[in-house]
Structure 1
Amino acid sequence: MTIRAVLFDFSGTLFRLEHDSLHEHAELMRALTAPVGVVEGLDVSPEEWERRDLDADLHRSLHVTALANAGAADPHGFYDNLISPPFWQPYPDTAAALGTAIPTAVVSNIGWDIRRVFDRHGVRHLVDEYVLSYEEGVVKPDPKIFRIACERLGVHPSEALMVGDSEEADGGAAAVGCRVEIVPPDPTGERPDALLEVLRKHI
């Protein structure tokens, strides 16, 4: 089946949370932006942690608690930085990958509006649809979120490629018939062209 659309994950796939001020809590940052799993030491159930990406207020509350537990001097300010566009860096081939001639959607488990990040880097117009968990009321790997993305792009799931960094979360697209490719969520300086390599295999 010919690929007629591409679905991209956000964190660890198109962009990565990177900033000098985050070095002190680098391990926590990786845990907070992981697609699945509860942050170690945070006294919440896996179900509650998963719901963080369905509610913006809960997203803030749980992250602030995790930051406070980790000893952040200003957890509220730290959280504001985590959702601030300057703290998110694109991978070197993000713009090129989004600039393909076929429809694209960003499908993300997220509790805030990531469109601002795309605006900052001048690539928002390269994305046809943003399918964000807190707006849709469903999180990956639930098949529904991938169906929503495909429907909005006007393609059958078998005609779509899902590109992400998590076998567990993004791999859920396979359940609806999408092809799936996983890229490593390496630092942006260490992953120059993984997105383009994946696209060359399918398009």
Structure 2
Amino acid sequence: MNKLLIIDDHKIFTDGIRFLIEHTTDLKVVGVLHTGRSVIPFLENCNSDIVLLDIDLPDITGFEVASLIKKSHPSIKILALSMLDDITSIEKMLNIGANGFCLKSGGWDEVSTAIQTLRTGGTYLPHGYLRRLIGKQDKISESRLTSRETEIITLICEGITSADIASKLYLSIRTVETHRRNIYLKLNVHNNVELMHYAKKHLII
């Protein structure tokens, strides 16, 4: 897997990335294209293993190009390139079938790492996306807390025992412990100390 096609309408970028690829890797650049509509005709005559695909092209979008590539040449691995790292664009490209998403602002080191990740069968995603995705999952977990569970979290973080919580809320100790286990599962914590740290970090209390 060493044939690579570059699709980007900024010549200064394509000249630079081509130079770096040809002089620092064993990859062979089979072509450089500056429009989206030229991609499929090119691939019909010249095979490629990996495509570096800019999202913002002058004629059709990188999303459309990725979709066309996956329909006609599903084995080709696509590494999307963009200046933007919004979750919507990344997830849209992944849903189309792209194998990675790389930020141009990350420089050659990031592009090189992303290409190598694809060559070894992996999926490359920007670090910022992964951090935001974790935060997004946290918010989803928090939104699933019931009002009673939020109330119990507050009391736990005040250092109140299960017995006292049960008495205060007119519940059985067994019910309080059941709520506690459910809270741990939803927030992926394992004890009261972790729960307190999580609650303070995410402003639940």
Normalised by the length of structure 2, the TM-score is 0.31
**Higher gyration radius (CA):** 2
Normalised by the length of structure 1, the TM-score is 0.32
Higher relative contact order (CA 8 A, sep 6+): 1
